[in-house]
Chains A and B, each alone.
Chain A
Amino acid sequence: MASQQQLSVIKGTKVLMVGAGGIGCELLKTLALSGFQDIHIIDMDTIEVSNLNRQFLFRQSHVGQSKAKVARDAVLKFRPHISITAYHANVKDPDFNADFFKQFNVVLNGLDNLDARRHVNRLCLAADVPLVESGTTGFLGQVTVHVKGRTECYECQPKPAPKTYPVCTITSTPSKFVHCIVWAKELLFAKLFGDKNQENDLNVRSSDAESSSEHKDDVFERKKDEDIEQYGRRIYDHVFGYNINLALSNNETWKNRNRPRPIYSGDVFTNELTRQNGNMDKNFATDDGTSVSAMAYLGMKNPQDIWSLVENSRIFLEALKLFFTKRGKEIGNLSFDKDDQLAVEFVTAAANIRATSFGIPLHSLFEAKGIAGNIVHAVATTNAIIAGLIVIEAIKVLKNDTSSYRMTYCLEHPSKKMLLMPVEPFEPNKSCYVCSETPLLLEINTLHSKLRDFVEKIVTAKLGMSFPLIMHGSALLYEVGDDLDEYMVANYAANLDKVLSELPSPVTGGTMLTVEDLQQELSCNINIKHREEFDEEKEPEGMLLLGWTQPFLAAEKDDNKSNGNDASTSNASTTATVEAEMDDEIDVIHAGKKRKLSEESKDAALGISRVADGTKNHKVLEVLADEDDLVMLGDEETGTKKKRLL
């Protein structure tokens, strides 16, 4: 394998790695061992304790430092004579433009979020540099090859949409623990500690029907000079007691459901409340806000324990109090963060108390944290395997060995005796708006929808553009950039609040808009079709983007919440979205149409479908074929099996 020819190809290669996390650490090591001598690596993240179980280039003493830089230094210890250039930066920084990408022979992704993956995909297309993409979840993983014009691009196929729940399930009729978590995190936590000015359509209430009046919001305001203990118990009694009672008054709701039980703090702590905070005076925590813990104050240690109702109630009150007494300055600006111990404690306790009301089994803090933070399972072994497969594909790409390109799945349960299953890559999707020039179609009410809605829900959320420019013919309607003059900025701001048909250059049915992202060098055309009515349940956005295979896709948050267009979009009133934080996540397993690279290979030998269990992201691969040598993915309806020898 390591022939002279291959070695010289490897030595002369300049490779860009994006991501120095789970896959990245393994990949950098394997690249260095394989003889690569000029490696550039970008990662904006810093090292955390929970990385250390698999990101083996990092040690306890590195916590808080740049992943890219520590990874470089660690690899240089066993390969001192190669060149590794580390960038502690966001790959979406404008410095990393198409010209930057053009200097590389191949780009290797070890990323943890969809947003960045799409961005890198576009830059690779713009720079015409091959991309090897990867992802892992638990024991599952995949590696895919994306070469412009030859194989599909990363965005040719739909990506799974984040799991969403109907609002009434969250606010009134939870039946699973995850519903209680969403309620505690998205509603209660946001209401108490988040931005007060932010429009929150998801009022904390027990029944949509009962409480349309807004005066109840006042309940959440801490009154002047109100004792913090009193305030906590007032909130407790309101959300777990009063609101449930209110909901119970609507008999219709409970006809076919178990009636929830209201819980008041007085019933939980008969007469012992005064003693519950015995540890309060001890000086546990430092002034470092994020290390404050209600569990520590209450002497509870094991995150695997499932707390009783009394314990949950104590944690709830204690956490609330600690937020006000120790982290008062942050109140009003907090958003839930899985690495914020106190926030996790509060959400766990609140979710468990609510679960008690509704007769739903309780969960430990450890489990609740995983659900609330959408933490993806990760182990070192899968990342190591995937990194090895990436290097094998990268070498094929460098040798231009096009007929050998494969996408490979790493499976948990063998399929056709295989744990590692190579599949021939698909050809580009001719209707992909990213790598082809096919226009999209947008159905929208041009008399009601504003330009802002279009920008937020389509351009940013669906098309994933960071620096968009919107044109109608030669008229500029909107633009984002650093170097705009004030006049233009004011002009664009004014346009944002206009409905489409009233823009200076009116957008109506039949209009074609051009949307570009100059950094990503992506341009696409959108044909506008006017439509009066939208189904509030099925089409909550009030518009429908067609002409590309993806039915819906919300932008995903990455670890650092850089992407603010999720739950706060203006009328997310029918669904509460649970974002997936991905840790080197496996993104997609194709279930799509037949898309073959070579003409002679036809028909499906294999259908693979993906089943996502909303909270855990378990993927199930279903394999239908049993022939040998080369497996192809394809249409499940295609009954015939064919094989193609290598």
Chain B
Amino acid sequence: MDGEQLTAQETALYDRQIRVWGADAQRRLSKAHILVYGMKGTVAEFCKNIVLAGVGSLTLVDDRMVTEEVLSSNFLIPPDENLYSGMTLAELCCNSLKDFNPMVRVSVEKGDLSSFGVDFFDNFDVIVVSSCSLAAKKLINKKCRTASKRVAFYTVDCRDSCGEIFVDLQDYRYSKKKLEETINCHLQYPSFEEAISVPWKTLPRKVSKLYFATRVIEKFEEVEGRNPGEASTADLPGVLKLKKELCDAHSLNESHVPDNLLERLVTNTSEFPPVCAIIGGILGQEVIKAISGKGDPLKNFFFFDALDGKGIIEDISSDSNTGK
């Protein structure tokens, strides 16, 4: 490959995982630069996973202060006011993460990610955002797409006992081994905006109900001018009304978006730690795949609901649903 070798220290530390993905992938990981935005429990899990895996650098963006909700699911922040007061979430998480793996550079960037210029995005290989408004997700995704090189974009969010991951690897080529042959694969991803614009009635009948429910909540928060996760049981009538409107607009039978699911998502907007671990684990695995070019990456949504225990991949793109 590039001729550079892993050091003895790296080989010893990463022994067990090099046996999973090879020295080559490990070298690529060590050159990857990752940025995360929105330091709640799921992102904390993700950061732990990729810092342990040995990425080159991790940049944290989140200027918010500690809240009860963040403390409840983010194990990177000590629950001691003397320790956390005056520091932003990104700064606090940075301090803990640095400790996990001295070979990874962890740093903080202040500001609002969606207002950063496109050239800033050039510095990264992967951008992961969480707890973002619909508009911010679209905008950041767009900037990743206009950067001078390919910047992979992910969104991740957990509510109640459910979680969602969205992936945009743009134009992605990778190779995989099938028996003795190496096959070159090519995947074309839609942007977040393109994906959620796919008419609902063209989607396969069995698409995860969480997909629709999440879109309804996302839209509700935008229409009402709420911050992500800022909803309560009192909002349920409004959410159900919006659901009806959206289903009508998409000519989709309302039974695809069960009321009780929407009720769960507005009643308990905080993260459930076991689900953070699961979603943060899947996301970590996906980012490692995308960086190393090893293994089939998921395209382009992933859903988990602890209630039925299924972790499902859905391909929501205009080209993949024809004829189904």
Q: Which residues of A contact B (CB under 8 A)?
A: 1-2, 26, 29-30, 32-34, 49-50, 52-54, 56, 59-60, 77-80, 138-139, 301-304, 366, 370, 375-385, 387-389, 391-392, 395, 406, 408, 410, 412-414, 417-422, 583, 628-629, 646
The minimal Cβ–Cβ distance linking A600 to chain B, given in whole angstroms, is 18
B16 touches A50 (CB 8 A): yes
Judge whether B314 is part of the interface by a CB distance below 8 angstroms.
yes
Q: Is the CB of B311 within 8 A of A1?
A: no
Is there contact, CB below 8 Å, between A385 and B13? no
Q: Are A377 and B298 in contact (CB under 8 A)?
A: no
Task: List, sorted by A's number, 24 A–B pairs whose CB atoms are closer than 8 Å.
Answer: A1-B275, A2-B270, A29-B75, A33-B73, A52-B101, A53-B16, A77-B78, A139-B20, A302-B5, A304-B11, A366-B18, A375-B15, A379-B20, A379-B285, A380-B281, A384-B45, A385-B281, A388-B278, A389-B278, A391-B274, A406-B309, A408-B309, A414-B313, A419-B313
A384 touches B12 (CB 8 A): no
What A residues does B18 contact at CB under 8 A? 366
Are A413 and B75 in contact (CB-based, < 8 A)? Answer: no
> Nearest 3 CB-CB pairs, A to B?
A420-B311, A388-B277, A422-B309
- Minimum distance in angstroms from A34 CB to a CB of chain B: 5
> Which parts of B1-53 form the interface with A (CB within 8 Å)?
5-6, 8, 11-21, 23, 41, 45, 48-49, 52-53
Residue among B13, B49, B306 making CB contact with A380, cutoff 8 Å: B49
Find chain A residues with CB under 8 A from B19 CB: 138, 370, 375, 377-378
| Complex contacts, B12 vs chain A, CB 8 Å | 49-50
Could you tell me if A139 and B273 are in contact, using CB atoms closer than 8 angstroms?
no
Which chain A residues border B306 with CB–CB below 8 Å? 1, 392
Q: In the complex, which residues of chain A have a beta carbon less than 8 angstroms from the beta carbon of B312?
A: 417-419
Query: In whole angstroms, what is the CA distance A78 to B278 when docked?
Result: 20
CA distance in complex: A381, B283 (Å): 9
Q: Is B81 an interface residue (CB 8 A)?
A: no
Contact present for B277 and A385 (CB under 8 Å): yes
- Is B99 at the interface (CB under 8 A from chain A)? yes
A417 touches B314 (CB 8 A): yes
Residues of B within 8 A of A52 (CB): 13, 52, 101
User: Is there an interface contact between A53 and B270, defined as CB atoms closer than 8 Å?
Assistant: no
Q: Does B272 contact A (CB under 8 A)?
A: yes
- Which A residues are in CB contact (< 8 Å) with B15? 50, 53, 366, 375
- Is residue B186 contacting chain A, with contact meaning CB distance below 8 A? no
CA separation between A378 and B264, bound complex, in Å?
35
Give chain B residues whose Cβ lies under 8 Å from the Cβ of A30.
273-274, 277
Residues of chain A with a CB closer than 8 A to B45's CB = 384
Chain A residues with Cβ under 8 A from B141's Cβ?
Answer: none
Residue in contact with B268 in the complex, picked from A1, A56, A376, A379, CB distance below 8 Å: A1
User: Which residues of B from 180 to 212 have beta carbons under 8 Å from A?
Assistant: 206
Residues on B with beta carbons closer than 8 Å to the beta carbon of A419: 282, 298, 302, 311-313
Q: What's the minimum C-beta distance from B295 to chain A, rounded to whole angstroms?
A: 7
| Chain A residues within an 8 Å CB radius of B258 | none
Nearest A residue (CB) for B314: A417
Whether A389 contacts B48 by the Cβ 8 Å rule is no
With A and B bound together, what is the CA distance between A34 and B273 in angstroms? Answer: 6
1/0 contact string of B259-278 vs chain A (CB within 8 Å): 00000100010101111111
Tell me whether B52 and A387 are in contact (CB under 8 A): no
- Which of A1, A383, A387, A583 has most B Cβ within 10 Å? A1
Pair B282/A33 contact, Cβ less than 8 Å: no
Determine whether the beta carbon of A56 is less than 8 Å from that of B52.
yes
B100 at the interface (CB under 8 A from A): yes
Q: Is B310 an interface residue (CB 8 A)?
A: yes
**Docked complex Cα distance between A53 and B29 (Å):** 13
Inter-chain contacts of B53 with A (CB < 8 A): 53, 379-381
Neighbouring B residues of A53 by C-beta, 8 Å: 13-17, 52-54
Return chain B residues, CB-CB under 8 Å to A413. 296
Interface string of B284-322 (1 = CB under 8 A from A): 110010000001101000101011111111100000000
Chain B contacts for A383, CB-based, 8 A: 281
B218 close to chain A: CB less than 8 A: no
Give, as a whole number of angstroms, the nearest-CB distance from B187 to chain A. Answer: 14
Could you tell me the distance between the alpha carbons of A303 and B18 in the complex, rounded to whole angstroms?
12
Which of these, B5, B54, B160, B288, contacts A381 with CB under 8 Å?
B288
Near A by CB (< 8 A), chain B positions 80-139 give 80, 99-102
Q: Are B311 and A380 in contact (CB under 8 A)?
A: no
- The reply to whether B77 and A78 contact each other, CB–CB distance below 8 Å, is yes
CB distance from B50 to the nearest CB of A (A): 9
For the complex formed, measure the closest distance between the CB of B283 and the CB atoms of chain A, giving whole angstroms. Answer: 9
- Whether the pair A378, B16 counts as a contact (CB closer than 8 A) is yes
Asked whether A384 lies within 8 Å of B281 as measured between CB atoms, the reply is: yes
The answer to whether B285 and A381 touch across the interface, beta carbons within 8 angstroms, is yes
Please indicate the chain B residues that have their CB under 8 angstroms from the CB of A304 in the complex. Answer: 5-6, 11, 23
Least CB separation from B280: chain A residue? A384
Give bound CA distance, A422 to B310, whole Å: 6
**Complex Cα–Cα for A139 and B284 (A):** 12
Distance between Cα atoms of A376 and B15 in the complex (Å): 10
A381 in contact with B282 given A49-B13, A366-B11, A418-B311 (CB within 8 Å): yes
- Residues of A within 8 Å of B313, CB to CB, are 414, 417-419
Most chain A CB neighbours (cut-off 10 Å) among B8, B281, B288, B312: B281
Closest to A141 in B: B281
Are A2 and B52 also in contact (CB < 8 A) when A303-B8, A375-B19 are? no
Contacts of B304 on A, CB cut-off 8 Å?
Answer: 420
CB distance from A221 to the nearest CB of B (A): 36
Is the beta-carbon distance between A420 and B278 smaller than 8 angstroms?
yes
- What is the chain A residue whose CB lies nearest that of B6? A304
Select from chain A the residue with minimum beta-carbon distance to B10: A53
A34 and B72 alpha carbons, distance in the complex (Å): 8
CB closest residue in chain B, given A419: B311
Which chain A residue has the least Cβ–Cβ distance from B204? A417
When chains A and B are docked, how far (Å) is the Cα of A218 from the Cα of B101?
51
Indicate if B79 sits at the interface (CB-CB under 8 A): yes
**A132 vs B307: C-alpha distance in the bound complex, in angstroms?**
18
Q: How far is the CA of A422 from the CA of B305 in the complex (A)?
A: 11
B221 CB to closest chain A CB (Å) equals 20
Chain A residue nearest to B272 (CB atoms) is A1
Residue in A1, A33, A78, A387 whose beta carbon sits within 8 Å of that of B78 in the complex: A78
Q: Would you give the shortest CB distance from B302 to chain A, in whole angstroms?
A: 7
Query: Is B57's beta carbon under 8 Å from chain A?
Result: no
Report if B155 contacts A (CB, 8 A).
Answer: no
User: In chain B, what residue has the closest Cβ to A29?
Assistant: B75
Q: A420 to chain B: which residues have CB within 8 Å?
A: 278, 282, 304, 309-311
Residues of B within 8 A of A138 (CB): 19-20
B161 contacts A by Cβ under 8 Å: yes
Interface-central residue, A52, A59, A366, A381, by most chain B CB under 10 Å: A381
Residue of chain B at shortest CB distance from A2: B272
* Sample of 19 more A-B contacts, CB < 8 Å, known A50-B12, A53-B52: A2-B270, A26-B277, A33-B73, A49-B12, A52-B52, A54-B16, A302-B8, A366-B11, A381-B49, A381-B53, A384-B49, A385-B282, A388-B276, A392-B274, A392-B309, A410-B311, A413-B296, A414-B298, A420-B309
Q: In the complex the two chains form, is B48's CB within 8 Å of A56's CB?
A: yes
Residues of A within 8 A of B288 (CB): 381
Chain B window 232-249, contacts with chain A (Cβ cutoff 8 Å), 1 for yes, 0 for no: 000000000000000000
Bound-state Cα–Cα, A366 to B23, Å:
10
Using CB atoms, name the residue of chain A closest to B273. A33
Give Cα distance in the complex from A376 to B20, angstroms.
9
Residues in A neighbouring B302, C-beta threshold 8 A: 419
Interface string of B56-84 (1 = CB under 8 A from A): 00000000000000001101111110000
Given A385-B282, A413-B296, A417-B312: A377 in contact with B17 (beta carbons within 8 A): yes
Docked Cα-Cα span, A440 to B81, in Å, equals 62
| Residues of B with C-beta under 8 A to A395 | 274
Q: Do B16 and A33 touch (CB < 8 A)? A: no
State in angstroms the CA–CA spacing of A381 and B23 once bound together. Answer: 18
Q: Which residue from chain B places its CB closest to the CB of A295 in the assembled complex? A: B8
Interface centre among A30, A60, A419 (most CB of B within 10 A): A419
